[in-house]
Structure 1
Amino acid sequence: MSNHPAPLSATRVLGDTVYVSGQVGVDADGRIPESFADEVNAAIGNLAAALESAGSGLEHVVRIGVYLTDHEYFAEMNQLYRDRFAEPYPARTTAVTGLAVPGLRFEIDAIAAVR
């Protein structure tokens, strides 16, 4: 039985592939950081932790989905993304959309190889 409020798994492993549900940048108390950069870095940190728990890591990511609430964040997100992922970069889709939790500006999901 899961204590997660939504009917989903944070990660699922099938064979040598791990699928990570959308990760957001909230602190331990569930608060959204004031700065967009802090939110992105926290979300990518949460993604890294989810991957690690499933036997993978950021260096094994092959596909990323990025969700922004405003296209104005695109350039800043790209720079922060470059700081956390190395070439060859994962294949990526970036969409501008609403997010399920009010106040969030960024969400990221991933598919990665298990080490």
Structure 2
Amino acid sequence: MTIERLDPAALPAATGTYTHGTLVTGARRTVYVSGQVPWADADGRVPPEFDDQCRLTWRNVLAVLAEAGMGVEHLAKVTTYLADRRYREANSRIRQEVLGEHTPALTIIITDIYAEDWLLEIEAVAVES
């Protein structure tokens, strides 16, 4: 299986840790990760700071992937919902920490989040051969 970056020359270069699209060939299994939220830390609470919420949310995404025997290298598409655009830079930094060199297709949406104390939500699609 391969996940190939699609960065057409006709588009401005993708900046940061994403690609304009991904082409998946030879996939045998697909995992759709429901929107994961910063619920809950070891104490059963939602951390108040964005960085902690973001890391916790990614931990939850990775737990779903691990349950399927997958990791970040299998991510083809990630959608992140942010409660406020002021979290953009921290979100990008932490995502890069988590994903490393892997650059899936990516969408970030600024929106109201289901619970008032949640500052983000992340959903994803992963594939494996």
TM-score over 0.5 for the pair: yes
Which of structures 1 and 2 has the bigger CA Rg? 2
Q: Could you list the runs of 5+ residues in structure 2 that have no partner in the other structure?
A: 1-27
Q: Displacement of 1:32 after TM fit?
A: 1.1
1:101 and 2:104 are equivalent in the alignment:
no
**Aligned residue among 47, 52, 66 for 2:61:** 47
Q: Could you list the runs of 5+ residues in structure 1 that have no partner in the other structure?
A: 1-14
Q: So what's the TM-score if we normalise by structure 2?
A: 0.73
CA-to-aligned-CA distance 1:43-84 (integer Å, 9 cap, x gap):
000000011112211121010000000000001111111100
> 2:70: which partner in 1?
56
Q: Secondary structure at the match of 1:47?
A: helix
- Count of matched residue positions in the alignment of Structure 1 and Structure 2: 102
Task: Give aligned-pair identity as a percent.
Answer: 37
Query: Aligned partners of 2:93, 2:66: CA distance in 1, in Å?
Result: 23
The question of whether the paired residues in 2 share the 8 Å contact of 1:22 and 1:107 is answered with yes
After superposing on structure 2, the runs of 4+ consecutive aligned residues of structure 1 that deviate more than 6 Å are none
**Aligned residue among 92, 96, 105 for 1:91:** 105
**Aligned residue among 23, 38, 48 for 1:25:** 38
